Structure 1
Amino acid sequence: MRVGAGGLVLLYLLAAPLSPALAWHAYVVKVLDGDSLRVKKGNRILEIRLYGIDAPEYGQSYGEQAKRFTRRLTYKKTVSLTSKDMDRYGRIVALVKSDGRLVSRELVREGLAWVYPKYCLEQPLCSSLKRLEYKARRARRGLWKAKNPVSPWKWKQRERSRGQNGRR
């Protein structure tokens, strides 16, 4: 089978979002929460999950602040993405840069997200994020102002168990 130049461009546009080594660009059309976006690439709308972090959920302290912060950094902007994985919900997990700034890093620095130890495995990036989280904790920035903030993965687990026990 022979593919013409137009076909190669189409193949690239379809494959680029899932290619882990290539950076690609897309326009942010919606910020869903602190760590999730919808972007437009060509005619496609793609859901993106920020790599390596977990921001507070809706109904959780600092959830709205994390969403506003991510919105300020990304909404209605063209961002650079480097795909890392696909999550169980079909979202592309990616490193997202806006105006040259890694959005995950900025959220952690401001105390608006946790490093997600189960999924943040890339080095030296994840060690760097853990250091930033430690500094935010020490400075009591953002969610670290609370005595014992609950991580989103523990909060979701607790909410699920409450639902199963009928204690809503």
Structure 2
Amino acid sequence: MKKRLLVLLCIVLCYAFVFSQKITAKVVGVKDGDTFVVLQKKKEIVVRLEHVDAPEKNQPFGNRAKQFASDFCFGKTVVVIGNGKKDRNGRWIGEIFYNNQNLNKELVRNGLAWHYKRYSKSANYADLETAARKKKVGLWRDKDPIAPWNWRKSKRKKVQNL
């Protein structure tokens, strides 16, 4: 019984270590509102923010989201916490923290990103988006804001029709 418990404990600890990663790195690039380049031990790592989807650069509020993110952390040393997973583009998925503030949540709170419900079931992010919508902050001031995933889909259709 004790041996099984010890094995189970080892598995849980290994799982937590492998699938939860925390790094400290300097932000050296802001590609858009939800994609960053950080430098850790002379190695560049591309980070895609977890739980959120910010407007594309050529979409309304896209530049504002990028500027907000840049003001928040560009050139600063941040903590990136991820679950060890990468997206289909090889980007590390995680949350960025600076001075104990969560950039991902601040983007949603300020109406500069959607809660990306397709990939996140977080009630906290859902609540932040609902509050931003009610206050009509950021992109929620627009009469009919277009979610980035729909924006990208419409752009792909236009390219296919050419």
Identity across matched positions, percent: 35
Unaligned runs of 5+ in 2: 1-16
What do residues 129-160 of structure 1 show as CA deviations (whole Å, max 9, x unaligned)?
11110111011100000111010001000110
The structural deviation recorded for 1:120 is 1.0
Pairing partner for 2:140 from 141, 144, 158? 144
CA contact (8 A) 1:19 1:83 kept: no
Partner residue, 1:39: 38
TM-score by structure 2 length?
A: 0.86
CA deviation vs aligned residue, 1:94-143 (integer Å, no higher than 9, x gap):
1111111111100000000000011113xxxx211111101110111000
* Alignment check: 8 A CA contact 1:70 1:103 kept: yes
Partner of 1:134: 130
Letter of the structure 1 residue corresponding to residue 148 of structure 2: P
In structure 2, give the amino acid aligned to 1:154.
N
Q: How far has the Cα of 1:23 moved from its partner? A: 1.8
Counterpart position of 2:76? 77
Task: For residues 74-106 of structure 1, give each alpha carbon's deviation from its aligned partner in whole angstroms, at most 9, with x where no partner exists.
Answer: 101111111222000000001111111111100
Q: For residues 19 and 61 of structure 2, what CA distance do their matches in structure 1 show?
A: 31
How far residue 19 of structure 1 moved from its aligned partner, in angstroms, is: 4.2
The yes-or-no answer on 1:110 pairing with 2:110 is yes
SS of residue matched to 2:19:
coil
Letter of the 2:94 partner, please give it.
Answer: A
Q: Distance in 2 between matches of 1:138 and 1:112?
A: 14
Structure 1 consecutive aligned stretches of length 4 or more whose deviation exceeds 6 Å: none
| Secondary structure at the counterpart of residue 90 of structure 1 | coil
Find the counterpart in structure 2 of residue 160 from structure 1. 156
